[in-house]
Amino acid sequence: MANLTLELAKIKEEIEGYARGYGLTFFNTIFEVLEFDELNQVAAYGGFPTRYPHWSFGMEYDQFSKGYEYGLSKIYEMVINNDPCYAYLLKSNPIVDQKLVMAHVYGHGDFFKNNYWFSQTDRRMIDTTANHATRVRRYVDDYGQEKVEGFLDVCLSLENLVDPHAPFQKKKQYETPQDEFQRLKGKDYMDSFMNPPDYLTQQQKKFDEEKRKKERYPTEPLRDVLQFLIEYAPLENWERDVLTIVRKETLYFAPQAQTKIMNEGWASYWHSKMMTRNILSASEIIDYADHHSGTLASAQGQLNPYKIGIELFRDIEDRWNKGKYGKEYDDCNDLREKREWDQKKGLGIEKIFEVRKVYNDVMFIDEFLTEDFCLKHKLFTFEYNPKTTQYEVFSRAFQTVKNKLLHSLTNRGQPFIYVSDSNFENRSELLLLHKHEGIDLKLDWASATLENLFKIWKRPVNLLTVVDEKGKILTFDGKEHKSRFTENTK
């Protein structure tokens, strides 16, 4: 029970029982009660207080602290995907908030354990981050704070250049096929004289070298830029290890970005159900309603993942019940009675458990967002109007809204970058390919990225993108940035 008071320990046991009774399954969950500054520290490290030292975590802590101090923001809960699962409670929260947070945490715990996109994550990440921190501190001792932190800056600036699907794929071997050169032909008994072992070895090496120079390498674009650099960039051993650490932690957090709407919606769905049906006392209802409505409120121009997630899960549940039970269910106007149908007949609840298991946010929105749902929840897109210098409603058309939402969720709205050629124009230069999806790159960001890639590749780095519907190659050679248009866009 960690440092829970007797009252909180009793509440935890009660809520865990309700969660299991509803069919939720999760790893053993350990709650820690922290002061606000302690919780801000843990949050700054992404939930892992044992992570390697870096100035960016201090910056995160400063932002969280100022938000709390000025009443702009407050961290109510934090839970991490681990076995056992660790969750943190804010000591100053009233009991009704602690109950809400615990119920919410068990929803997250069920999602972490059962959603497919978390199935390949490291379930001992607390230990792993501690090992990473030990190695980074050792490098600091060996090579100095400035050198190691500077290289970490470079690695973290490139951390989004990974393939989030890499854990589900068989590891690719980025090697050029090693065909044999043509042996000198003759009678079998003359082969050992015409092709002696030393001659064979020397000629094979020459052949392989020439072949490597001529061939495009890799043979097909590779999305996992960091993995390619780890294997083939001319790095020192400690640098390669630091880049590996950054990549591994980035891939650990990737499913959380891929399932933000579903994960928060699922946890909110279950805390709402457990709180209103099982947990709340009469004196706590108003406080709960106030805090729950605050969680689901949407700021102007922003999409609240808690709100869209919980409402879409409820919509799926209602539609599947209505689809099977038809008019009897549809004519039921009592919301409370409708919410009891899942206990009686179960079809809607079975469907949302199925959705929770196999979908991510892109699949979730693409499959289940309907025009009726958009109309009901008044979803729209907005754009900047230069005439009025304000952001204004652009469209309420369902397909426009859906496409905009899907675009923002695909790769977290970031560009798709691939390794295209490691011997570009036969000069051992690196060529990256931007898969253009209709939106141009921010050229200043692209330039900064090329500079940091140069620090790892140690040779000129090129990026093929599209600017004004024309192919354009951006280059950084270590001293200056250059660019040129090209007819090739692949």
Angle at 72 between CA 71 and CA 74, to 5 degrees: 80
CA distances from 384 to 160, 381, 390, 393, 427 (A): 27, 11, 6, 9, 44
- The pTM assigned to this predicted structure is 0.86
Question: Are the CB atoms for 295 and 306 separated by under 8 Å?
Answer: yes
**Residue 400 resides in a domain:** yes
In the numeric block, which tokens belong to residue 336?
A: 């409370």
For residue 113, which of 140, 151, 70, 84 has the smallest C-alpha distance?
A: 84
Asked whether residue 384 is assigned to any structural domain, the reply reads: yes
Query: What three-state secondary structure class fits 465?
Result: strand
d(CA 321, CA 351): 9
Token pair 């539609």: residue: 319
**CA-to-CA dists, residue 454 to 314, 417, 462, angstroms:** 49, 16, 9
* Other Cβ atoms within 10 Å of 227 Cβ, number: 22
Q: Shortest CA distance to 95 belongs to which of 33, 183, 29?
A: 33
Residue 344: per-residue pLDDT? 54
Residue showing tokens 């106030």: 290
The answer to the question of residue 396 being in a domain is: yes
Q: What string of pLDDT tens digits covers the 490 residues of the chain? A: 468 999 999 999 999 999 999 999 999 999 999 998 999 899 999 999 899 999 999 898 898 888 877 776 777 788 999 999 999 999 989 999 999 999 999 999 999 999 999 999 999 999 999 999 999 999 999 999 999 999 999 999 999 999 999 999 876 554 444 445 455 455 555 555 555 656 556 666 666 666 555 566 788 899 999 999 999 999 999 999 999 999 999 999 999 999 999 999 999 999 999 999 999 999 999 999 998 888 888 766 678 899 999 999 999 998 888 776 666 666 666 656 655 655 555 678 899 999 999 999 999 999 999 999 999 988 888 777 777 777 777 788 889 889 888 888 888 778 999 999 999 988 999 999 999 877 788 889 999 999 999 999 999 999 999 988 888 999 999 999 999 998 766 6
Instruction: Outline where DSSP puts E strands in 396-469.
Output: 416-424, 429-435, 461-467
Q: Does 297 reside within a domain?
A: no
Q: How far is 461 from 484, CA to CA, in rounded Å? A: 14
Q: Which two tokens stand for residue 305?
A: 């993942």
pLDDT at 338: 59
What was the pLDDT predicted at 174? Answer: 45
Number of neighbouring beta carbons within 10 Å of residue 193: 10
Q: Which 3 state secondary structure label does DSSP give 21?
A: helix
Domain assignment present for residue 86? The answer is no
Number of separate domains in the chain: 1
In a domain, 364, yes or no: no
- Please check whether residue 158 lies inside any domain of the structure: no
Q: Is residue 389 part of a domain?
A: yes
Range of the domain at 395: 378-404
CA proximity to 346, closest of 18, 17, 20, 22: 22
In the prediction, which pLDDT does 377 show? 87
